[in-house]
Amino acid sequence: MTVISVIGCGYLGAVHAAAMASIGHDVIGVDVDAERIAALAQYRPPFFEPGLPELLSAGQESGRLAFTTDIGAARAAAVHFVCVGTPQARNGLGADMAFVDAAVDSLLPQLDTGDLVVGKSTVPVGTAERLAPAIRERGAELAWNPEFLREGHAVEDTLRPSRFVYGVPAGKAGQRAAAKLDEVYADGLEAGISRLTADYATAELVKTAANSFLATKISFINAMAELCEASGADVTVLAEALGMDERIGRAFLNAGLGFGGGCLPKDIRAFMARADELGADQAVGFLREVDAINLRRRERTVDLARQELDGSVAGRRIAVLGASFKPNSDDVRDSPALDVARMLAREGAQVRVADPQALDNARRVAPELDYATTAAEALTGADLVLLLTEWAEYRDLDPQDAGAAVARRVVVDGRNALDPHRWRSAGWTYRALGRP
Ligand code: UDX
């Protein structure tokens, strides 16, 4: 059992704190946001994440998990995880490092000799090297241990990640740091999860490279969707066939509206900015194209809407199903669905958006749109239906029932989530991205 502090209790930190308590560690979660801490203390995560409320209550009831705004509480811990955000900077593509720097600054006076600070935030390569000297001055050590969690699967991804990556310094200090992390992650290691030790820069790059690869895979299939549109081919069948080659793999080849969220878009942009600083911008120039292909899918969806409404969406009623950037999440950061809804509203459409979880967040960032609490309400009287986030309840919609609610039976499937045959049989005009 290790006494752990987690600095930053947003998505990553709250899940990490609760997950570490669930495997027997003593955990104190610290955040500067008093509202967030109060919510977590009442077992209410400030975001939707399956399984997390249960872990928060079990942890706090067992006495192994607590939350506070007082950084002084970190004194009691021997291992300190830095889990604050690195959002896209306001004035450029790079990551805003203010939260990481502030977290480490506030942590320094709390460190004892022999403590280990563990960075988990996604950072530009070179960050650990920059932060390490001040930590060593306190007699403590720094490790970089990137996370790969997906929203909606955050608990399982934290407890059973695909791999543990430790970025540690060379020599004895690094071995001691790795041994401490092995104690923290003993549960996962015993379950057979691989562990890889590297230098700081490599560990930092693993995370950015992985997200860049995933984004590239999605944009690759979406580029093929553009070719399918130009040639009359079907991207869903193409993806199926490509995926049967083990070297390619079927995962992350779902063509549609493309990627959004708090990670992939900002991570590829920050990677380009950092590569530029390092004089290696040519190496990741293709990511500019990955970003551009991704954003073009949103325009294509708006085009399809225009086409189906005889050239203009102005004054027409459009039902948008989905506001979150992906299903099983209430996160609307860089959400393709919400972006398309706003583009349509700017062209004068009467857009009504439904989402099972993300309405509160959507209302906050896009107050100009109309919202409906159920799909049925959004569909009523619609001239056009857009499926933009593939929640299970939207996939399972009955085309007959939906047809009875709308004014015109026209659907644009932005996620290739509906069965075209079923919808066409029910009298719908079915349009999708990358399909004839
Ligand atoms: C991602 C990475 O998967 C995770 O490892 C990393 O730690 C954080 O970033 P997340 O942002 O939660 O996780 O979402 P993910 O499930 O990867 O989906 C990202 C976006 O890509 C979503 O908007 C999703 O709709 C889209 N996507 C995904 C596709 O358009 N097609 C696909 O085939 C897969």
Domain boundaries, the chain: 3-198, 292-432
* Sheet strand arrangement including 3-7: 65-68, 26-30, 3-7, 79-82, 116-119, 141-144, 164-167, 195-198
The fourth-level CATH superfamily of domain 292-432 is NAD(P)-binding Rossmann-like Domain (3.40.50.720)
Q: Is 263 designated active site?
A: yes
Q: What is the pLDDT of residue 384?
A: 98
**339 Cβ closer than 6 Å to some ligand 1 atom:** no
Mutate to test the pocket of ligand 1, among 218, 250, 267, 387 (most ligand atoms within 8 A of CB): 218
Does any ligand 1 atom lie closer than 6 A to the CB of residue 430? no
- The pLDDT, as a whole number, for residue 46 is 87
- CA-to-CA distance for 289 and 348, rounded, in angstroms? 30
Cβ burial, residue 288 (10 Å; 0-12/13-18/19+): middle
Q: Mark the ranges of the chain whose per-residue pLDDT is less than 50.
A: none
Closest C-alpha residue for ligand 1 atom 31: 254
325 in contact with ligand 1, CB cutoff 6 A: yes
Overall CATH class of domain 3-198: alpha beta
- Binding site for substrate: which residues? 148-151, 207, 252-256, 260, 326
pLDDT at 409: 98
In contact, 155 and 19? CB cutoff 8 Å: yes
Q: What is the pTM of this model?
A: 0.96
Q: Ligand 1: does its nearest atom lie under 6 Å from the Cβ of 151?
A: yes
Q: Among 48, 252, 259, which residue has the most ligand 1 atoms within 8 Å of its CB, making it the best to mutate?
A: 259
Name which residue sits closest to atom 30 of ligand 1, judged by CA: 258
ipTM of this predicted structure: 0.98
Beta carbon of 206 within 6 Å of any ligand 1 atom: no
Instruction: Pick out the residues of the known binding site for NAD(+).
Output: 31, 36, 86, 122, 151, 266, 333
